[in-house]
Amino acid sequence: MKSLYMIGSLRNREEVVRISNEIRSLGIEAFDDWLSPGPEADDKWKEYEEARGRTYKEALSGWAAVNVFEFDHYHLNRCDGAVLILPAGKSCHLEAGYKAATHPLFVLMDKPDRWDVMYQFATGIAFSLDELKEMIINEREMG
């Protein structure tokens, strides 16, 4: 495993960067460049599109949305696997499900109030960063 797409919330930026740096220390590319627009990127896109009088459906077809989607989609396809860092929202879970269908997906859990059985789609579920790193190393060695 040479590369992992790091899936997380724009609002969880510091944690995503910290975890990505730990993965990079293993000699694995941890792709997290999608974080660069900042924590309010989705909100600002919505404000912009609403100011133009567009509906959500129309905005999804706009150049900005298509460009961001194609960027993420390209790198999701390019990477050998993915890490879903919780807590995370709808788009993160869509990305994780997409990736889990064809490549290893690891989930770094927070301490959820509600449990969900569907995380069993993941290759591995970790409750600490050390456990996550161990799973990734094992997957790379089995490669």
Model confidence pLDDT, tens digit, residues 48-63: 999 999 999 999 999 9
Each residue's pLDDT tens digit, 94-137: 999 999 999 999 999 998 899 999 999 999 999 999 999 999 99
Query: Hey, what's the torsion of the CAs at 94, 78, 125, 41, to 10 degrees?
Result: -50
Residue for token pair 């896109």? 45
* Structural domains of the chain, with CATH: 3-142 (3.40.50.450)
Q: Of 96, 98, 95, 88, which Cα lies nearest the Cα of 124? A: 96
